[in-house]
Structure formats: structure tokens, C-alpha cells
Amino acid sequence: MPGRNHSVEAGFLDALPNSLRPAAADLLHYYRLSQLIIMRKEGVDDDLKKRFDLKTMHWLQVLDAVILTKVSYFDVTTQMTPKHINKLLEITAFALHEPDATLSELIKRVEKDYVFFADWLKQVHEVRMEFVKHAKSKGLI
């Protein structure tokens, strides 16, 4: 997890009711993105269930918020592979409950309430366009 000097989209966590924030803070600080995705798909582990008495629907809400926050930690540049960038977009769409959404649709979905995240998605778009530009210059497409 990046250090505390990284900018992230805090709006997803801010939108959580106060009663869910301790669980969200725990997940944010102690679990990797891959672990969060597994829990989102398969359920929260027993240790967490013992520490935080939340209903399943609340766990899903918390996990989505933390996943989206963690995704926004990534500094998407041309140093990342297109495969990794696409995986981040897939995770984003999953956590937003829009699995078939295009990048443009994801931007529209978040731009009103989550400005930092919308800007992050726009950066993803710019990086993807750089990959296309590079591929065209090499005659690959």
C-alpha cells in the first residue's frame, strides 16, 4: 500500500455511515486489493466477522468503498502494462456494479460525486490513448 502522501479518492469512504467506518479503516489499512476482491466475491473471513458485527449487505457496501479507494491509489502511467490497466478498470466496474460499462460510462457514473476518481479515470483514458498512439506509430494497428 502506498504511503500516506498519495492522493486517493476519499469520497467512497466518506459516503459510508459512521457505523461502517471502523471496518472500512481496518480493511483499507490491513488488506491488499486482491484479498478485498476475494472477500467481495466469497464473503468476509471469520476473523473480520468476529471483530465487526455487520450484516452481509453492509460488508458488501464497505468492501466496494474500500476497493474503489484502493484502486485510486494506483498511479496509472505508460509504465504499467495495458493488461494491468484493464484489470484496474475491470475491478472498478465490478465495485461500481457496472461490469459491462465502458470507460466513458464509468467516468460519467462518478464525475458528479467523486471528482478525484473521475480525474483518475480520465488519466487512465489518456494513458490508453498513448498506448494506441504508440502502437499506430509502430504500425501495429
Residue range 43-80, pLDDT digits in tens: 999 999 999 999 999 999 999 999 999 999 999 999 99
The domain locations on the chain are 11-73, 75-140
Three-state secondary structure call for residue 95:
helix
Q: Is 112 helix (H, G, I), strand (E, B) or coil?
A: coil
pTM over 0.85: yes
Q: What is each CA distance from 12 to 9, 97, 105, in whole angstroms?
A: 7, 14, 18
The yes-or-no verdict on residue 118 having pLDDT over 70 is yes
- Start-to-end Cα distance in the chain: 36
Residue 141 or residue 40, greater confidence:
40
Read off the pLDDT of each residue in 1-10 and give the average, rounded to a whole number: 64
